Amino acid sequence: MHVKWEDRIFKLFIFWYICGVILLSFDLLPPWLEWANAFFLILAGTLSFFYLWRRFGPAIGGSVGVLIFFSTFIVEWAGADSGFLFGSYDYTDRFAPNVFGVPIAIGFAWLMVMATSHVIARWIVPGGGILYAAVGGIAAVIIDLIIDPVAYKVKGYWLWEDTGIYYEIPWTNFTGWFLVAFVLHLILDAAFKKQGLEVSARQAEKRMALLYVLMIALFVLLGLIGGLWLAAALTSVLTAAIVALAWKRRPQ
């Protein structure tokens, strides 16, 4: 039953994605439709949760998905409240609805980041372990290299109080992303070592790899529209490199 819902949500995501690309490319997105950006991330996160559910089973996959959602939400809340791990920043109301000052979509965004980077890292390092977690952390940071500048400079979803040389974003943000993703990938590593890969999950893994590319491509488009040439170029090159390596080493 959940497979049918996964397919339906994926079709809705693709439809929403195409509409978003058209509206953003021609600057046709009206202000009243800004909520669509949060809904877009919620769809991506939901797809990622379904992947974890299918890949690791209802008990382990569901538990890991819930852990990712709430642990990252708490870390983001701590970061926005005290500057913990990422640096000092504040969310605006442009990415509402917010709970305790943190957008709900953030938890879904982290689900997407972890599920997609897990597949990329697993294809590159099928044996798991520390190297797998490190590659997963790098894959996650590559996403943030474009998401953070776009969300900060173009969309105004959050405001940085600290600063840095990369679009005035502090370096602690990217090290924080790596550390959070690294730890969560160690948890995923423990989960997938206990289970083999079912044939039905192979298609789901390819879908997650596609989701990784599609999400980055959309934010690269937003970066180009917003004049963030360095972020768009750097992210595109790094994404092409890691995805090409992952695709070459993917299980047949």
Please report which helix (H) or strand (E) contains residue 102, including its range: strand 102-103
Cis amide linkage into residue 97, ω under 30° from 0: yes
- Token output for 63: 């538990």
Q: With left for phi above 0 and alpha for psi between -120 and 50, is residue 18 left, alpha or beta?
A: alpha
Q: Does 8 map to a domain?
A: no
Query: Nearest 5 degrees, angle CA 21-CA 72-CA 114?
Result: 55
Cβ 50 vs Cβ 6: under 8 Å:
yes
Rounded distance between C-alpha atoms, residue 113 and residue 65, angstroms: 12
Please report which helix (H) or strand (E) contains residue 220, including its range: helix 199-225
Residue linked to tokens 């797809």:
47
Q: Does 73 map to a domain?
A: yes
Q: What is the pLDDT of residue 165?
A: 93
Rounded distance between C-alpha atoms, residue 180 and residue 176, angstroms: 6
Q: Does 213 map to a domain?
A: yes
Low-confidence ranges of the chain (pLDDT < 70): 1-3, 29, 32-33, 83-84, 96, 194-201
Q: Does 189 map to a domain?
A: yes
Q: Does 128 map to a domain?
A: yes
Cβ 148 vs Cβ 173: under 8 Å:
yes
- Report how many domains make up the chain: 1
- Token output for 153: 């400079």
Q: Does 150 map to a domain?
A: yes
Q: Does 2 map to a domain?
A: no
Rounded distance between C-alpha atoms, residue 114 and residue 180, angstroms: 10
Cβ 211 vs Cβ 112: under 8 Å:
yes
Q: What is the dihedral of CA 13, 16, 19, 20, to 10 degrees?
A: -90
Q: Does 51 map to a domain?
A: yes
- Residue-range definition of the domain harbouring residue 103: 35-249
Please report which helix (H) or strand (E) contains residue 90, including its range: strand 89-91
Which residues partner with 102 through β-bridges? 99
CA atoms within 13 A on the CB side of 157: 20
Please report which helix (H) or strand (E) contains residue 91, including its range: strand 89-91
CA atoms within 13 A on the CB side of 191: 25
Residue linked to tokens 């969560």:
184
